[in-house]
Amino acid sequence: MLMSNDYSLKLPENRRVLAQGMRDGIPIGAGYFAVAFSLGITAKGIGLRPITCMITSVLCHASAGEYAVYTVIGDNAAYITMAVMVLIANARYLLMSCAMSQRMAPSLSFFHRLFMGFGITDELFAISIARPGMLNPNYMYGGMFVSIPLWALGSGLGCFSGEVLPERIVSALSVALFGMFLAIIIPPARDDKIIRMLIIISFAVSFVMSKLPGVSSVPSGTRIIILTVVISAIAAILFPADSSANDSAHATDGSANATDSNSNTAANSSAGAADSIDNNKGD
């Protein structure tokens, strides 16, 4: 009743768009399954049950975000730490959400906007924003419907089999998540000198802080928040992002087309994810 009728599944066109979203969600879901498995192992390490892990995965469905969740639970940190950590780890979704808001029909209902926002991940954002014109919610729903359950299933199985698998295999799988983080941050670093420098500085400072007597006893979650805010703020003061807008060379057609109404920053942030999707499609 509250949904906009334009996007009703009674229309064959919308059912077709939903099916396209589901089709494009399959390679994404396959990747999610493997990465979530590694996340499940992390959850297992702090004593979570598979069902708890799966519920968290459906509700949060974010690699860095969920990693932050398990770090905070593992630290037994304050509730406010959880809120701030999840906020920081998912801050990039705020930018993506801003970009998506500029591509929604003004008449689009509150509930469509809410559910589309809920569905934002690097990959689902990338495939959605890459389509021309106004966003059809059904496309994103199709992608979510396929990929989010696979994400949850992967994390549940990872959590379940964490102790069943040989130690050697668990050790190997536990770096999958970090591999995914690298796949997000490195491609933009190749084209943007400032980001490249920022990553090197972040690695260095993070390493020093983890070894420094006194500082190293600060819970890792808190350390991540402090370092992120301080380093990003200094970078924002020294290098306002608009001056580095020429790095849009790595933006894909999809996100570049979106820039007529979007900020450059938002389009750039999506570029790494969009690149990976293009690779997926090429396979």
Partner 1 sequence: MQHSIFIYILIAALVSLIIRAIPTTLLRRQIENPFIRSFLYYVPYVTLSVMTFPAITEATKNPVAGYAALVVGIIVAWFRKNLFETAIMCCLTVLVTEFFF
Q: Which of residues 235-274 bind partner 1 (CB under 8 A)?
A: 235-237, 239-242, 263, 265, 268-269
R_g over Cα of the chain: 19
130 is a contact residue toward partner 1 (CB under 8 A): no
Of 8 and 118, which has the nearer Cβ to partner 1? Answer: 118
Report phi then psi at 77, rounded to 5. -80, 170
Of 14 and 269, which has the nearer Cβ to partner 1? Answer: 269
* Residue environment code for 255-278, b if the CB has 16+ CB neighbours within 10 A, otherwise e: bbbbbeebbbbbbbbbbbbbbbbe
Candidates 86, 129, 130, 157: give the one binding partner 1 (CB under 8 A): 86
SS3 169: helix
Spatial contact of 115 and 137, defined as CB atoms under 8 Å apart:
yes
Q: Which two tokens stand for residue 7?
A: 């996007």
Return the closest-CA partner of residue 98 out of 268, 283, 278, 263: 263
Query: How far is the C-alpha of 162 from the C-alpha of 140, rounded, in Å?
Result: 32
131 is a contact residue toward partner 1 (CB under 8 A): no
Q: Which of residues 22-61 bind partner 1 (CB under 8 A)?
A: 30-31, 34-35, 38, 48, 52, 55-56, 59-61
Around 177, how many Cα atoms within 13 Å sit in the side-chain half-sphere? 23
Residue 153 Cβ vs partner 1, minimum distance, rounded to whole Å: 16
- x/- site string to partner 1, residues 133 to 172, per CB under 8 A? ----------------------------------xxx-xx
Q: How many residues bind partner 1 (CB under 8 A)?
A: 110
Candidates 9, 186, 212, 215: give the one binding partner 1 (CB under 8 A): 186
Residues 6+ apart with CB under 8 A from 143: 21, 22, 24, 25, 28, 119, 124, 127, 128
- x/- site string to partner 1, residues 218 to 237, per CB under 8 A? --x--xx--xx--xxx-xxx
Candidates 113, 219, 257, 259: give the one binding partner 1 (CB under 8 A): 113
Q: Which of residues 5-24 bind partner 1 (CB under 8 A)?
A: none
Of 16 and 205, which has the nearer Cβ to partner 1? Answer: 205
